[in-house]
Structure 1
């Protein structure tokens, strides 16, 4: 799944190839999943095509996993790659995993395209062709009708937390302390929740945890001031470093966990870092997490230990349950469900009153995997 660094990469290529160009032709196919369906800013392939044709691209930007193109006239396209989306350019290979030959695909348009752009021919400049592709159809494309400098003040961006690179001045020690003190969830799960902070996904979260020497299962509200300060430094370091090299993993530091974690599940795969420290894998917040136990020590309670402590102190060991104790248990269960974090913010479906996810999570941890297996969440049934 493209995370903060991969999105920074595509914003770079949009600036390089499309900035100040006029869109001579836009072709889009109708795909209700891709174009937002019941979400704010939802559109159709036909409407998208209509609003982009003839418009000039005057800017672009990013907030976490979202990016957008600013046109000379609203509405503006705001996009999210989901699990496997990307923006291809015919003239240059832009994907963050290089092919062996390093050459762009010869087939054009590429498979699984959702829209194509072609720029106007200008004296002394080549025509630029670009195509948004998504094999798994969990990407999102919307049109946001507002001034270009107010895109972040509108849905879906306004519901998301600050970007640790773009909004570095907002992601401060006091800000992070406030988030951690108020969150009774595993610290990694807190970072994956885009409502708290934008752009951190599974591998970035693991890299931050490893660099900060914090166990991903430890509850956020048990971290010391010193740990929170270290966590902040690691958030800035990992996110900035990854974005500076445009998500090119070959340029990541050699001591990063990313360089060695992908051996999981492969025959004769390395289970240790170059310094001999062992890598283990566990599930945190529904995601596979790479952990180095010798470095990432638990210094506070984790989920199971907190549940046991609450059970020992609050639940009577004998006797019949009273209305008060039953009510308390139900209340705790309801609260637990409310506090359970999700990696992506879930907008409300106004008609049905149901929560609808932006996209579902992958079953595979390796972003280079080509498997199309995905896990779908079943919608909650509501009594009439």
Structure 2
């Protein structure tokens, strides 16, 4: 599933359409991605509207159109946004297509785990305003992290980092990267961390988010071999810091990769 930086990359794919007027909306109204959306209202409101802005927050995207129209997108597991020059013939999995004068904006989703929202009004939609603080913003503080860890004291760190109500945009690979860089075992209970370790975790969350946005979010660049990312995908990988074998197991319900030589489990 796309995470923080991948979502930022896909958000930018529709930016060539900013300033363009939607001449035609094509969609598959019965597709599951529209389960919470009035497709007739969406089609009427967006036809003739101008795309004015694009936003990303965690795993969510929001596109603002003239007339107070807001299109929300969650990519799910297989969703993708892309922009094509006209003319463009939509494929079977292109469930939402916006035709502009020079470009065609497409939401593709083969497995239909994604989601489209539509709202109207002069302000950002309420659901968008209710999202937790961005992990790179000043509103995400070490104190807020510490309090959240206390409330989830019995949960393993791997499971805690995947909780979107505090860590928007963090998914499986980013959680593993954070814990590996911070030298924290993914099974460590959230309530076991010392004040120093909480500080280290906080700094590492922000470091990994910033690195991912720079390397992946900019142009889908390849992470360097110094990251766990490039070694975690298959059994038999080795830790780039220790040279010792990596381990893959299920923790918190998710496949997790870590370095036993570096990430010691607290007793």
Q: TM-score, normalised by structure 2?
A: 0.91
Q: Give yes or no for contact 1:86–1:134 (8 Å, CA) kept in 2.
A: yes
Residue 137 of structure 1 deviates from its aligned partner by: 0.6
Residue 32 of structure 1 deviates from its aligned partner by: 5.0
Report Cα offsets for 1:291-318 as digits up to 9, x if no partner: 1111111235xxxxxxxxxxxxxxxxxx
Cα distance in 1, alignment partners of residues 88 and 73 from structure 2: 24
Q: Give yes or no for contact 2:80–2:108 (8 Å, CA) kept in 1.
A: yes
Q: Does 2:53 correspond to 1:68?
A: no
Partner of 2:84: 90
Partner of 2:232: 261
Q: TM-score, normalised by structure 1?
A: 0.65
Cα distance in 1, alignment partners of residues 90 and 169 from structure 2: 29
Cα distance in 2, alignment partners of residues 51 and 225 from structure 1: 51
Q: Give yes or no for contact 1:87–1:131 (8 Å, CA) kept in 2.
A: yes
Q: Does 2:144 correspond to 1:175?
A: yes
Q: Does 2:132 correspond to 1:146?
A: no
Aligned-CA RMSD value: 2.1
Residue 255 of structure 1 deviates from its aligned partner by: 1.0
- List gaps (5 residues or longer) in structure 1: 92-105, 121-126, 265-269, 301-384
Partner of 2:98: 117
Q: Give yes or no for contact 1:32–1:44 (8 Å, CA) kept in 2.
A: no
- List gaps (5 residues or longer) in structure 2: none
- Alignment length (residue pairs): 264
Bigger Rg over Cα: 1
Partner of 1:8: 8
Q: Does 2:166 correspond to 1:211?
A: no
Partner SS state of residue 116, structure 1: strand
Residue 274 of structure 1 deviates from its aligned partner by: 4.3
Partner SS state of residue 83, structure 1: coil
Q: Give yes or no for contact 2:22–2:100 (8 Å, CA) kept in 1.
A: yes
Q: In the superposition, relative to structure 1, how do residues 158 and 287 fare at CA in structure 2: closer, same or farther (>3 Å)?
A: farther
Say which structure is richer in strand.
2
Residue 249 of structure 1 deviates from its aligned partner by: 5.9
Kindly report structure 1 stretches of 4+ aligned residues shifted beyond 3 Å. 157-160, 246-251
Q: In the superposition, relative to structure 1, how do residues 107 and 279 fare at CA in structure 2: closer, same or farther (>3 Å)?
A: farther
Partner of 1:306: none
Partner SS state of residue 177, structure 1: helix
Q: Does 2:113 correspond to 1:132?
A: no
Residue 232 of structure 1 deviates from its aligned partner by: 0.9
